[in-house]
Structure formats: C-alpha cells, structure tokens
Amino acid sequence: MTLDPAYLEYPRRAEGYDHALYPWSALKDRAPVRWPSGAVAVWICVSLEWFPITPVDSPFRAPGHMQTAYPDYRHYTARDYGNRVGAWRFLDAFKAAGVRVSFATNAAVAERYPELIAAILADGHEIVAHSTDMNGTIDSSLPEADERVLIASALARLEAASGVKPTGWLSIARSQSWRTLDLLKEHGLTWCADWVNDELPYRFTNGLIDLPLNHELSDRQIIAVQQQSADSWAQSMADAFDWLAREAAESGGGRMLPIHLTPYIMGLPYRIGAVEALLAQLTARSEAWFAPGGEIIAAWSAQQ
C-alpha cells in the first residue's frame, strides 16, 4: 500500500515550533543582555499551594495532589505543612541571605494565610498569580468561558486578599490551553512562566512575555520525582550556576538561573540547610544578581 503524499504535508511547518505564537530564535544568535548587576540573574520562585482535600481530575489532577482514599489526611497535612512551617523557614533564609524572590500564590493561600502574605510583602518579595487553588488546572479541554472565569477569579481573589495586583502568572503544572496566552493578556498580565524552552525571557506575538521556569531545576522534579537528596539538589543548582556564569563570560551576554522551590519539600528541617548553604554560596559570587521575576522582565524589556 502506497502512502498518500499528502500525509507528509503539513501546512504550518516552519522554523522552530510550527506555530505563530512567537518568532523562533536560538539563544546564541541574539544580542547580548546586560543585567543591572552580575552576569547571571538568579530567579527564585516559591510555589504557595493549597490542595483541596478532594481532588478534581478534570481537566487533570495537579502534581502532588491527594493520592489515597478520601479523606487523605496524610497528604493534605503534608502539603499544608509548607504554608504553616516551610514557607516561614524560606522567609528566614531569604532574609539572612539578603535576597528577594517571587512567591507564586494560589488565591486560596492568600485568603487562608494573611499573616504569611503580609510577611512576604513586608520583606519586599513579589506575588505572582498561581490559579485559584490546586484544583484550578488548565488545558485545552477546559471550555473558554470556564478558563476565563478561572483566571479572573484567581486574580480578583488574590488582589482582594493581598492588596497587590500581580503582573505575572504561573499555571499549575505549567499547563496552558490554546487560549491561555490571549486570556492572560486580556486580564492585564504582562508575563507568564509556563513555557520552559529558553534561559532568557522572550516575547509572544500578542505582547505577553515568557519568563522560563525550567521544571528540571525544581525541587519537585529533583527530589520528589528523581528521589535525589537535598545536597544533590543543591549541587545541581550550583553546577548550573557555574555553567551559566562561564557561558555568560564567553558570550558576553547575561544568563538566567531559575530555581523553583516548594515549601513542603525543601522547607523540611533536614533539607532547609541545603537551601541556606546554596544561598550563601551563590550570594558570594560576583556574577550573581538575585531578583524577583518582574524585575528580570523589566531589565530584559528595557533592552529589546
């Protein structure tokens, strides 16, 4: 049986990713980026998550959600530990290191933990919108009207609870629909962190900016999925920084290291020391510029 030649024809085939959502480019071909200080922008993003004790599997169950029969007290309280204990250890570690970070925050967390949100803002950290709660997942099976309501609800509730109107968005599991970019722009956001295919910001065709938050550099991936130790996680981050610093020196352009943290994972007493040690190591490096996501976006945008 002969294959129909039309089977191999794809009308949207083009350089890059076969779509018009953004112009494709290789990092090596772009004009150098200069940061306000140093050669490597270190972006720490902490996920503040509230997991309803009853998970919703439509459109999909969020990573880390309840796993055993209802009521799943073990996993529910383990997750809640992050907001009750782990996040506060993070704040102490960031203050000791003198760094400011981003907190990607479920609206439900801001409503339930006002003292935590107040402490985050008092220390100069950034609030990033992170859906309503960990049932607020998005993919292309979600009707457009429902997705629009979800985004609007997350933003309105987060602003009402925190007093801050976020400019950035992180989807649960970094998952979007075909419509998400336009809906985020429609709701006044300027950047998202869901697309992980780069190490510098880039602009979508609709004007929204992506700040890549690489999932391979997250504690969930390295520790919860790959089952590595806290020290192994810290060494991975340090190795990544060393590579990026060398690459920046050789290319003459800045680089970015995203570090994604989860309070109920790295905030445990036998892991938080690795976070503190990594912060001490990286803040001592002249190449490092620690900044929240919005400041990295602003520094990059000013050069485009």
> The domain that contains 254 carries what CATH number?
3.20.20.370
178 in a structural domain: yes
Closest residue by Cα to residue 42 from 98, 3, 96: 98
At 157, the amino acid letter reads R
Closest residue by Cα to residue 99 from 261, 210, 251, 301: 261
Give the model's pLDDT for residue 269.
Answer: 98
- Reported as a single tens digit per residue, the pLDDT across 29-62 is 999 999 999 999 999 999 999 999 999 999 999 9
12 in a structural domain: no
- Reported as a single tens digit per residue, the pLDDT across 145-183 is 999 999 999 999 999 999 999 999 999 999 999 999 999
What DSSP element (H or E) covers 209? strand 209-210
Domain coverage including residue 79: 36-301
249 in a structural domain: yes
- Reported as a single tens digit per residue, the pLDDT across 193-245 is 999 999 999 999 999 999 999 999 999 999 999 999 999 999 999 999 999 99
Q: How far apart are CA 268 and CA 262, in angstroms?
A: 10
Alpha helices of 83-125 — where are they, by DSSP H? 87-97, 107-112, 114-122
The token pair that represents 13 in the structure block: 């085939």
Tell me which residue has tokens 């003198």. 98
76 in a structural domain: yes
How many domains are contained in the chain?
1
pTM of structure: 0.95
223 in a structural domain: yes
Q: How far apart are CA 35 and CA 1, in angstroms?
A: 59
6 in a structural domain: no
22 in a structural domain: no
Q: How far apart are CA 132 and CA 111, in angstroms?
A: 10
What DSSP element (H or E) covers 265? helix 263-266
110 in a structural domain: yes
